[in-house]
Structure 1
Amino acid sequence: MSTIQNLQSFDPFADATKGADLLPAGTEDYIHIRIQQLNGRKTLTTVQGISDDYDKKKLVKAFKKKFTCNGTVIEHPEYGEVIQLQGDQRKNICQFLLEVGIVKEEQLKVHGF
């Protein structure tokens, strides 16, 4: 009887890298939802990290209609296109993005006080 040895190396992360190509659009990174304090009681909510597959101007239009607030898309030198909305809309944006199916819950990062 001969003894056969398995001398092939095993990569424990091989399965993790295979599934990365199958993720839906916008899942490579987190979507950051932040709040900024302006003068007095005024606040500004920013949404950064939405994939380029989605038209941000159409998203802003939907946000404005649904949340009855004003908003715009600005070009940030470091973060790219960022959505700005008036008021504290963090909870509303999270619910909207989950309902529409743009992101999964584990991809949302909510920052603020």
Structure 2
Amino acid sequence: MNFLRGVMGGQSAGPQPSGAETIQKLCDRVASSTLLEDRRDAVRALKSLSKKYRLEVGIQAMDHVIRVLQTDRSDSEIIGYALDTLYNIISNDLEEEEQDNKKLESLLPRK
């Protein structure tokens, strides 16, 4: 059955790459892509991962994102993605929301 899935284009049963591996591949794309569209797509993906994997994106991609801000400053779309990525890395919004939720839960009557 796995053979048929492989031939028919179904999902493989192999392990999915971890967040850190995916971030590393995206960083490689940002660093090595000669086409602006490829770099833009990679930075967009880093932006979306930066919400869930703040530390990993901060460690692996910070230098690449800063380089994008310096070299691709004429493209407003990639600059927006890069700035959003940096914001997601350094902001405390998620932590503050989690703390507020815990405070609200402590105020609610228990069943």
> Could you say which TM-score interval applies, normalised by the shorter chain?
under 0.3
How high is the TM-score relative to the length of structure 2?
0.25
Which structure has more RCO (C-alpha within 8 Å, separation ≥ 6)?
A: 1
Q: Work out which of the two has the higher radius of gyration on C-alpha atoms and give 1 or 2.
A: 1
TM-score (norm 1): 0.25
